[in-house]
Amino acid sequence: MKISVILGHPDEKSFNHAIAETAVETLRENGHDVAFHDLYREKFPAILPAEEIPRNAALPRIIRRHCAEIAAAEGIIIIHPNWWGQPPAMLKGWVDRVLRPGVAYTFTEGDSLGAGVLIGLLKANAVLVFNTSNTPPEREASVFGDPLELIWKNNMFVSCGARSYYRKTFGVIITSTLEQREKWLREVKEITSRHFPATPA
């Protein structure tokens, strides 16, 4: 399967990078065709300009490439830290520019009525989201309401046609031991393999 892995974290020594490396290795071991984007390392241009808002806008080559890749992806893995209940701006900008109308979704006929009903265009069978957090899970649920679940699941991937969706948050990172982090990476490997198993030769 063609799988896109999208990472949004500025520090290459971060646990997010370790998660991404583990996921990519696992996918390759399982025989998949992996497109890995460390958006910071690639200096992805994350700010959508006004002229890209129209549906039929002319796009720069880098955005066209990202759009073609995500449209063809049979699986997607997103990896980022929880910053204010949202992804870092770098990854939000990838969403803004790449998950475009005509690529990730279109509208039902009669959209001119403002019904806001999307038709998903992504062909990805499975979407995984791996997050890191420094907020304990009970506080995230009770005080902050975990907007990342709404954002990635309801607002994005279910709307865009993904047939299965799974999200896992690792934390609290800041106080974690090496042993915990190693255990978490084994979990990343297990989750990745479960959703994207090796294809029989």
Residues that bind its own copies in the complex, under the rule CB under 8 A: 10-12, 40, 46-50, 53, 83-90, 92-93, 95-96, 99, 112-117, 134-136, 139-140, 143-147, 150-151, 154-156, 171-172, 174-175
Q: Tell me how far, at minimum, the Cβ of 194 lies from its own copies, in Å.
A: 27
| CB nearer to its own copies: pick between 75 and 171 | 171
Q: Which residues, other chains included, contact 171 with Cβ-Cβ below 8 Å and sequence gap of 6+?
A: 82, 132, 133, 134, 135, 136, 137
Distance of CA 102 to the CA centre of its chain: 19
Question: What whole-number distance in Å separates Cα of residue 146 and Cα of residue 123?
Answer: 27
Q: Tell me how far, at minimum, the Cβ of 158 lies from its own copies, in Å.
A: 9
| CB nearer to its own copies: pick between 2 and 83 | 83
Q: Tell me how far, at minimum, the Cβ of 29 lies from its own copies, in Å.
A: 29
| CB nearer to its own copies: pick between 11 and 33 | 11
User: Mind spelling out the 3-state secondary structure of 76-138?
Assistant: EEEEEECECCECCHHHHHHHHHHCCECCCEEECCCHHHCCCCEEECCCCCEEEEEEECCCCHH
Q: Tell me how far, at minimum, the Cβ of 148 lies from its own copies, in Å.
A: 8
Question: What whole-number distance in Å separates Cα of residue 41 and Cα of residue 8?
Answer: 9
| CB nearer to its own copies: pick between 174 and 201 | 174
